[in-house]
A = this chain, B = another copy of it.
Amino acid sequence: MDVVFLGTGAMKPTPRRFPSSLMLRHKGEIIMFDAGEGIQVRVSQSGFSPMKVNKIFITHFHGDHFYGLPGMIFTMSQAERTEELVIYGPEESESFVHRILSLGYGRITFPIHVEELKPGSVVQGDGYSVTAFETDHGPPGLGYVFREDDSFNVDVEKMKKFGFKPDPKFKLLKQGKTVELGGHLLKPEEWLIPAPGDSLAYTGDTRYSKAVVRAVRGVTVLVHEATHLSEDSKDFREHSSAKEAARAAKEAEVGYLFLTHISPRYKDATPLLEEAREVFPRTYLPKDLDRVSIKKGEVRFLK
């Protein structure tokens, strides 16, 4: 999967960091997590068409996580979209989306379906699932774990050892079918090895939380809010410091940590990265529009 960090800021859009939003592409499907004000600007800069977004997961209904929705919907309608859009979110989502849709005189050209989720709810997609988890912020809120389905690969090494060469029938084998090769019957359970899917957790806003640590255990990438520096904790009572995000990453034994939801207070956010890396070295601090590929447990920044 690829991920674009559309908005890595908090509270309000600034020229440097737009508020929260992340776009994930998996096998041609595009999924958004949160949609802060003005995020259309970043969507267009990312090169992705908003028309391709079919699922939007909202973590909670604070403005900096969803004020971009009315504009996205307005723009999709200007382009005469007809395909359904599904908006997932915590309790009350139905009511908030209703308010968004009655905000102005714009007409809406496509159906919008809202699904309210609870901690533990699972949304099944094509080759992946999204599981909601409980966060600790203020208003009702959810984080999400996007998880690719596990798959199976042909054990090429074993095949070699037994003298089998790569063959188009491997595809059938991967699909779980027994195939005939050079007079031998090959059963999938004997020739396949599991390839675990990658996973990404997106917390939205949360204080450091044991429940979050449990929910994100072992993910490839944890995108954790890190609004502020430890030393400024008294000014941000409902959020995590970079150090607390790193603590969560360490305790949950994730692959990589990406810090987001950086307060506009920090013109240069390097000190946040530094305090996190002291606790969890595999930490990154993406800026808006940074793009990352996540594959086989590894991350790679794309140009």
Contact = CB atoms under 8 A, between A and B. Distances in A.
A230 to B, nearest CB: 21
A195 B38 CA distance: 43
Contact of A61 (B64, B71, B105): B105
Interface residues of A, number: 35
Interface in A45-95: 45, 60-64, 66-68, 70-71, 74-75, 78
Contact of A44 (B14, B70, B96): B14
A211 interface: no
Contact of A75 (B12, B68, B71, B96): B12
A236 to B, nearest CB: 11
Copies in the complex: 2
Contact of A139 (B14, B45, B99, B105): B105
A74 to B, nearest CB: 4
A90 B67 CA distance: 23
B66 A67 contact: no
Nearest to A74: B63
B70 A63 contact: yes
A41 B16 CA distance: 9
A281 interface: no
Given A12-B74, A37-B68, A63-B74, 13 more contacts: A11-B75, A11-B78, A14-B44, A15-B41, A15-B45, A37-B38, A37-B40, A61-B103, A61-B105, A62-B106, A63-B103, A67-B70, A99-B99
A12 B50 CA distance: 12
Interface string A271-293: 00000000000000000000000
A29 B48 CA distance: 41
Contact of A104 (B12, B38, B63, B74): B63
Interface in A83-131: 96, 99-100, 102-106
A297 interface: no
18 contacts: A11-B75, A12-B74, A12-B75, A12-B78, A13-B40, A14-B41, A37-B37, A37-B40, A37-B67, A38-B41, A61-B103, A61-B105, A62-B104, A62-B106, A63-B104, A67-B103, A99-B99, A103-B103
